Each structure stands twice: as C-alpha cells, then as structure tokens.
Amino acid sequence: MEQTGRIIKSISGFYDVLDDETEELVRTRARGNFRKRKIKPLVGDKVKFDSTGDLGYILEILPRENSLVRPPIANIDQAIVVTSSAEPNFSSNLLDKILVNIEHNDIEPLIYLTKADLLNDEQYATLKVTLNGYHEVGYQVFLDRDSYNEQQVADLEKTFTDKVTVFTGQSGAGKSTLLNHIDKELGLATAAISQTLNRGKHTTRQVSLFDISDGLVADTPGFSSIDLMDITPEELPTLFPEFLRYSGQCQFRGCRHVNEPNCKVKEELAEGNIMQSRYDNYLYFLNEINSYKKRY
C-alpha cells in the first residue's frame, strides 16, 4: 500500500516516517535506487512509502521546498538562530554567515539570544544595541537576559504553530537546553562546552523533529563554522535585507556596494542607517566567495 508521510528522524540507514493519514511512526529504509542516484533522504522530506510488512520502504522523495546542508534538513519554514553571548562568545561574523545561508534558502530566520546571564551589565548593554540593530534589519529578536524568561519562551513557542521550525547555531549555544525548557518532556541531552571539547564531539548528533505547539520543531547538531560555497558574489548583496532596501537607488544596476560611485548602500552606511559590522562582514564574505572561485 502506498502512503505519504514525513521523515522525522534518521538513524543509521533507517528513516522514521510520520504517516500523514494514521499519524503513526513507521520505520523505513530507502530503496537501493536512491543510493545509486546519490539522493539521500533528509529529515523533513515528504515521501511516498510502502509499509506492508514490519519495515517500510521509501519509494519516492517528493519535491523539496528548500533544504539546508548544515544542519541537514528539508522543507523548513523558519529557523531559530540560537546565538550565545558567551561560552561560546558572540560573533557577529558567524551570526551573519548563518543568516546569509538561511536567507539563501528562502527560510525565515529568527534570532534567539542565550547565556546573557554570563555577561556583566556593560557587556549585555553593548550586545543589546547590536541585536536591536538586527531588529531594525527586520528580524524578530529574542534578547531577554534570562534565556528562559517564561513570557519570551511562550512568545517563541507561538511562532511554531503550523510550521516546520529548525533550531540552528553554534555547538554549545544552548539549542537543546532551550528546547528542554519549551517542552519539559523532551529530555534532550545537553553538555557544557568544556565537556564537549574533551570528547571532541557535539552533544546533539542527529537531526530530529518533534511535535510542539501544533508544529514540527527540529533539534540539530551545532557547528563551529560554516561556508558560503553555494552563494555567488551576485547573490550575496541580496541576502542582506537592509541593502535591498536601498540598492534600487544605487547608480549601477547590480551594484556590489564596494567601490562603485553613487552607491546608496554606502551612503546609508555613512549615515549610520546600516550597521558597520554587517557591512564589514559583507565585504569579508565577498572576499571569501571570490577566493573559492580562484581555488576551483
């Protein structure tokens, strides 16, 4: 019998599929022909599958709306970028890189600050100014000093309904801890980064989707760095929403906002309407992307 469902977990060659009709979990394997065609099913994939026996088989992966490489997941509506203040330290470069990757995949990013309790008052005040800048860019930002402020957690949870949400961000930022606060029954493993480094592993090893507040929410393994391999120099400026607001007024169409004359983006930067750190990171990423081209 042919059914449809969504992969919510993958464990060493098996895929747990949530049946659309029965809402039951079915353990499946991917048919050999996927491997031959080098198609790897991802958590989040909508699939056709067959489960007449104990074990089902994935027959077909339905077309993806989008997919991320890091973390590996498909068909996502929004990404919660869990951003730690300390241990690991806040890095605007890493945050912007994550945001650019998410924008590239047409997924809506939200920023969630963690570990601000580890900062002194002055450090927190400075970080708040920076994060308010991201709010100006148009992102929803959760920046309470207490990551687990009840009202804030409830507001976050409200965004999950009828969506597929992925928690992403640096290893040790507190993704699993935050999820445990949202759903007390999850009991996800968490660990201090010193322990993580000692083991040389990330605490969360797999992507899995959970049913929370009438939506699906994924915990994912963190990372320490990501690249911009899929992004072209032409596309990069379009992944900064605040640049897009002004780029129509640049003299040159396709202006990269670097050395071109009469660049509205650079004018707005000089006026303080674009964050210097975002612009600096933009130039840094543009360089990085150009250096990939030289190498290959």
Ligand X SMILES: Nc1nc2c(ncn2[C@@H]2O[C@H](COP(=O)(O)OP(=O)(O)OP(=O)(O)O)[C@@H](O)[C@H]2O)c(=O)[nH]1
Residues in contact with ligand X by the rule CB under 6 A: 82, 114-115, 117-118, 147, 171-177, 190-192, 196, 202-204, 221-222
Q: Residue 71: is the preceding peptide bond cis (ω within 30°)?
A: yes
67 is in an annotated binding site: no
The interface with Mg ion within residues 191-220 (CB under 5 A) comprises 203-204
Tell me the two tokens of residue 167: 């928690």
Q: Binding segment for Zn ion among 109-117, 152-160, 174-182, 263-271 (CB under 5 A)?
A: 263-271
Q: Residue 255 binds what, of Zn ion, Mg ion, ligand X, none (CB under 5 to 8 Å, by partner type)?
A: Zn ion
Nearer to ligand X, 146 or 234 (CB): 146
Q: Residue 172 binds what, of Mg ion, Zn ion, ligand X, none (CB under 5 to 8 Å, by partner type)?
A: ligand X
* Minimum gap (Å) between residue 100 Cβ and Zn ion: 17
Do 103 and 138 touch, CB atoms closer than 8 A? Answer: no
263 is in an annotated binding site: yes
Handedness of CA 193, 114, 229, 43 (dihedral sign): positive
Nearer to Mg ion, 125 or 192 (CB): 192
Tell me the two tokens of residue 147: 């990551």
191 is in an annotated binding site: no
Do 242 and 257 touch, CB atoms closer than 8 A? Answer: no
Give the whole-angstrom CA distance, residue 145 versus residue 87: 15
Q: Residue 115 binds what, of Zn ion, ligand X, Mg ion, none (CB under 5 to 8 Å, by partner type)?
A: ligand X
Give the Å distances, CA to CA, from 27 to 54, 170, 221.
8, 30, 22
266 is in an annotated binding site: no
Handedness of CA 14, 15, 21, 24 (dihedral sign): positive
Binding mask 162-181 for Mg ion (x = CB under 5 A): -------------xx-----
* Minimum gap (Å) between residue 137 Cβ and Zn ion: 17
Do 110 and 142 touch, CB atoms closer than 8 A? Answer: yes
Handedness of CA 227, 230, 236, 240 (dihedral sign): negative
* Minimum gap (Å) between residue 189 Cβ and Mg ion: 7
Reported as type and span, the H/E element at residue 29 is: strand 25-30
Specify binding-site residues for GTP: 114-117, 169-177
Specify binding-site residues: 114-117, 169-177, 250, 255, 257, 263
Q: Which residues bind Mg ion (CB under 5 A)?
A: 175-176, 203-204
